[in-house]
Amino acid sequence: MAILITGGAGYIGSHTCIELLEAGYEVVIVDNLCNSSHISLNRVAEITNKTFTFYKMDLMDRAGLESIFARHPIEAVIHFAGLKAVGESVQLPLSYYHTNMTSTLILCEVMKKFEVHKLVFSSSATVYGLPEAVPIAENAALGATNPYGRTKLMLEQILQDLAASDERWGVSILRYFNPIGAHKSGRIGENPNGIPNNLLPYISQVAVGKLTQVNVFGDDYPTPDGTGIRDYIHVVDLAKGHLKALEKIKAGSGVDIYNLGTGRGYSVLEMIAAFEIASGQSIPYAVAERRPGDIAVCFADTEKANRELNWSATRGIEEMCRDSWRWQCSNPSGYEEDSFVLHELAAGNYHKTAQ
């Protein structure tokens, strides 16, 4: 039986594919590569020395998706694909609503048609909006503040309605906090387009000399050093959480919602200092205006995931920064074709890209 991974070429998807392949799962990936590169998949194959099937396809291609379900014995889906940039979602709300909502609806309709009822869905801590208290538990009040967040909130509701309609559905909704870090090999990692919006990719591009300084968005928040506090989680810990969620839904039904974070927050200045230590580089910064929509403090209550999934994050901030740095400095321009790949392709030793 196979697991279908939508968005598997992306940052979190590619790391999750490694964990699945290493755990012995058969993996089928669908990604239109709108925010990723096929090279990440070449490197997943290289790291794991395992094969998988990749379809370069838009999830909105219903007929294409049906042919994948007809061709592979899919038992569950992990659904990462979607657009994720908050600022862009404010500029392009129709694109965000269309892509994130329609593609998920089509995916669920095709799953229903092929009687595949197990789904792990990528949600976000952004659904908590302006949290009333920290740590944030799964039953905290919800309220997204931008179109991206609203797509996650609406999709969470749709999936709950779907599961309520037929008890065969087993759905795990995972609310990620702030994923950072990279696989320890340094071969795959986060590869933002243009100037990064998120803190860690920005810091690492300053450290590698691509950007001149970090702009610290506000130092007058009610936090010990005045800068924003977030719950950064190593992407490999996050990826492992998906395997635990998968195991749980395979054994049961209904909807479960889990925070995936560490339960510990770090400020912007603490992150800059940790990255300086990990990289050995000095990281200049300047305090700038607050970024509209930002909150002061956000970190997870992880007790439910610890208890019900038997999962907890084990990698600390030093390892997160060290692994981000290894990825950044060995791939300063992101994903580029390399000789290993060309050699393996020539030898016919590669994962299969299906038509």
Residues in binding contact with ligand NAD, number by CB under 6 A: 26
| Angular region, 310: left φ>0, alpha ψ -120 to 50, beta rest | left
For 234-260, b where at least 16 C-beta lie within 10 A, e where not — what string?
Answer: bbbbbbbbbbbbbbbbeeeeebbbbbb
Task: DSSP for 88-103, please give it.
Answer: HHHH-HHHHIIIIIIH
CB of residue 60 to ligand NAD, shortest distance in Å: 6
Catalytic residue flag (residue 148)? yes
CA–CA distances in Å: residue 283 to residues 45, 260, 329: 34, 29, 14
**Mask for 154-193, x = binds ligand NAD (CB under 6 A):** ----------------------x--x--------------
CB of residue 79 to ligand NAD, shortest distance in Å: 7
Task: Give the tokens for residue 321.
Answer: 């920064």
Chain-centroid distance of CA 279 in Å reads 24
CB of residue 126 to ligand NAD, shortest distance in Å: 7
Q: Does 230 bind ligand UD1 (CB under 6 A)?
A: yes
Pick one of 48, 185, 215, 312: the residue that binds ligand UD1 (CB under 6 A). Answer: 215
User: Any residues with CB less than 8 A from the CB of 252 and at least 6 apart, and which?
Assistant: 170
Q: Of 192, 129, 161, 332, whose CA–CA distance to 254 is shortest?
A: 161
CB nearer to ligand NAD: give 122 or 324. 122
Task: DSSP for 252-264, please give it.
Answer: --EEEEEEES-S-
CB of residue 40 to ligand UD1, shortest distance in Å: 18
Pick one of 48, 67, 160, 197: the residue that binds ligand UD1 (CB under 6 A). Answer: 197
197 binds, among ligand UD1, ligand NAD, none (CB under 5 to 8 A by kind): ligand UD1
Q: Does 100 bind ligand UD1 (CB under 6 A)?
A: no
Pick one of 113, 291, 343, 352: the residue that binds ligand UD1 (CB under 6 A). Answer: 291
Residue range at the interface with ligand NAD (CB under 6 A); choices 24-32, 88-96, 260-268, 309-317: 24-32
215 binds, among ligand UD1, ligand NAD, none (CB under 5 to 8 A by kind): ligand UD1
Task: Give the tokens for residue 117.
Answer: 């009822």
Task: Give the tokens for residue 25.
Answer: 């799962």
Q: Does 150 bind ligand UD1 (CB under 6 A)?
A: no
Q: Does 60 bind ligand NAD (CB under 6 A)?
A: yes
Q: Which one from 11, 55, 148, 232 is the annotated catalytic residue?
A: 148
Chain-centroid distance of CA 94 in Å reads 22
Residues in binding contact with ligand UD1, number by CB under 6 A: 20
Which residues, in sequence order, are bridge partners of residue 351?
none
Pick one of 10, 129, 149, 263: the residue that binds ligand NAD (CB under 6 A). Answer: 10
Beta strands in the chain (DSSP E): 2-6, 26-31, 53-56, 74-79, 118-124, 170-176, 178-180, 214-217, 229-230, 232-234, 254-260, 266-267, 285-288, 297-298, 352-354
**Which residues would be at the binding site for ligand NAD (CB under 6 A)?**
7, 9-13, 30-36, 58-60, 80-82, 84, 99, 103, 122, 124, 176, 179
Active-site positions read 148
